[in-house]
Structures are given as C-alpha cells and as structure tokens.
Structure 1
Amino acid sequence: MNQRDDAPEIARASALAAELRSLVRKLRRRLREQADSRDLTPSQAAALLRLEREGPATVSALARGEGVRPQSMGATVATLEAAGLIGGEPDPNDGRQTILSLTDACRKWISEGRAARHDWLTRKIEAKLSPEEQQALAKGVELLKRIADD
C-alpha cells in the first residue's frame, strides 16, 4: 500500500483525534463542575493527587515528582497548608525536613468530589443512553483503554 492509499485512513484518524481531544476537554470541564474544586490551581491539584497516590513526601520530593523547583513547590505547599488540605510532621530521619501528607478533611473532600462526579456521570449515562447505546459506549471505552495503555 502506498502513501496515497493511506491518505483517507490517516485523515480519518486525525479527525477522530481532534474530535476526541475536544470531547475529553468538554467532559473534564463538566466533571469539574460537579464537585467543589476550591479553585485550586493545576499545580495545587497535582500536588494533592501525588500525595494521595504516593503517600507522604517532602517538598523536595514533590517538586522532583512534578518537575518544578523546590521554591515553586514551597509556595504551592504553603497555600495548601493554609487551606487545611495538607499538614506536615518533622522527618524522623532528618529534622530539617518536613514530611507532608493529606489531612483527613482533604481525604474526605477528595472522596466526596469523586463520588459527586461519578454520580453525575452515572445519571447522565442512564438518562441519555439506551441499553444498546450503553453497550456501544462500553465497547468504545475498551477501545479507548487500548489507546491509553501503551
């Protein structure tokens, strides 16, 4: 098969990619609307999610994980601490360091937000899609998993 024969498939894949990116952005925006975001910046949200996923960490470890300077992460951490979302304890191995972790209030807030987003999406799927369309969506989700799981 030559390049000319591949052109329609490439054009179709490119159009699908553009449409999918747009749809994912719209869905993310709609999901964010369903839960209290507390107006977190992307870097604040990323730091919280990293602490949730990976557990307690120092400012330096968070900065390395997010690819930012420790000074920048320090400002992010200070805001999150002031909001009561994270707290710190002295590092037992190095008293100069502080080990940061999510507060119980933050864990509850994250859990409630996820539940609200899940509930909204469940209700939309149930209300807007027939059982047959839900089956088609399930097949589409499997295809998207194949794309996402390199």
Structure 2
Amino acid sequence: MREEEAYWLQKQIKRLHRQVQRQQPEVDGVSSSALQILVAVEQAGRALRPGELAEELEMTTSNVAAALRSLERGRLVVREPDPGDGRKAFVNLTPAGADVIAEVRRGNHAWLQQAIADTLTADEQRLLLQAGDLMRRLCEQAAPAGRRRVLPEF
C-alpha cells in the first residue's frame, strides 16, 4: 500500500470512529473517561487496581481517581480493600455499572447497524465485515509483545 493510500485509510477510520463517538448515548453524570473505566473493568473480567486502570487506559492517576469518585457516587463501581495490602483497593463493577455499559452499547450498535443498512448493499456489508477482521489482525500485529493493550470497546 502506498503512503497516500495508508494516510487516506487512516483518515477514514478516524472519521468513522468520531462519528460513532458522537452517536454514543449520553449517560447522566457519567463522563467519557468514566465510561472507559467501566468498560475496562468489565473487559478485564476481574477487579482492577486504580493504577492498572490508569496504565491500561493511558490516563493520569488523578483523572482515574476523579472518575472513580464519580462512579462510586453513582454506585456504578465499588472499591474493595486489597486483602494482601490494606492500603490498596480493587475496583469492581456493580450491576448498575453493567447496566450503563449495556445501554451505551445498545445505542452505539443501533446507530451503526442502521447506518450500514441504510448506506451499504449486502455485498458491501460482507466486505465491511471482512475489512473489520483485517483491522483486528492489524491491531494484534501492531502491539509489541508484552504490551498488548486493549482499549475498551463500547
């Protein structure tokens, strides 16, 4: 692929990402950073320390702390003491937090599904699915060993 083609493809991927972000349903009192934290905890499948969240999401510890305070006030996460070190805590998703994630995903998926149905032919839809698989493979290839960072998927 030529450089200008790679640039064009990257630009289109960014445009689609921004459009999906704009279509994301707003959740009262939950910032986009807080949503990222909710999804990261869910995708981990286990409780995480705030520092792990900061590293995974490439956020500052102070931003994670602020988002966690907001999520705790909304009863979307709970912090539980680390049994091995009482000075540290683990962050767990609550059922209400899981409900928020499900609501956001339904909104995102509905918009994208409708946009695809309204815009693309059946053949183009199959081609788009194949392109999605290729992008997944590129993402897996691009991550250096030991640093396979997975951003939250809404």
**Which residue number in structure 1 is paired with residue 9 of structure 2?**
20
- Give SS of 1:57's match: coil
1:40 aligns to 2:31 (yes or no): yes
Write out aligned runs for 1:56-95 (5 A): 56-66=47-57, 70-95=61-86
Q: Relative to 1, partners in 2 of residues 1:65 and 1:129: Cα closer, same or farther, differing over 3 Å?
A: closer
Identical aligned residues as a percent:
26
2:131 is aligned, of 110, 120, 140, to 140
**Which residue number in structure 2 is paired with residue 49 of structure 1?**
39
**Which residue number in structure 2 is paired with residue 125 of structure 1?**
116
Task: State which drifts further: 90-99 or 19-28.
Answer: 90-99
Q: TM-score, normalised by structure 2?
A: 0.70
Q: Relative to 1, partners in 2 of residues 1:146 and 1:51: Cα closer, same or farther, differing over 3 Å?
A: closer
1: CA distance between counterparts of 2:90 and 2:41?
11
Q: TM-score, normalised by structure 1?
A: 0.72
Identify the structure with bigger relative contact order (alpha carbons < 8 Å, sequence gap 6+): 2
- Give SS of 2:85's match: coil
State the 1:67 CA deviation. Answer: 5.1
Task: State which drifts further: 84-93 or 61-70.
Answer: 61-70
Structure with the higher fraction of residues in helix conformation? 1
Runs (4+) of structure 1 exceeding 3 A deviation are 63-73
State the 1:132 CA deviation. Answer: 2.4
1: CA distance between counterparts of 2:50 and 2:73?
15
> 1:3-48, CA deviations, whole angstroms, 9 ceiling, x for partnerless residues?
xxxxxx5xxx222222222222222222223332446244x34432
> 1:63-103, CA deviations, whole angstroms, 9 ceiling, x for partnerless residues?
34445564553233223223332212223333332221122
**Which residue number in structure 1 is paired with residue 107 of structure 2?**
116
Structure 2, unmatched stretches of 5+, are 142-154
**Which residue number in structure 1 is paired with residue 20 of structure 2?**
31
> What is the number of equivalent residue pairs in this alignment?
138
- Give SS of 2:86's match: coil
- Give SS of 1:22's match: helix
| Alignment RMSD (CA, Å) | 2.6
Structure 1, unmatched stretches of 5+, are 1-8
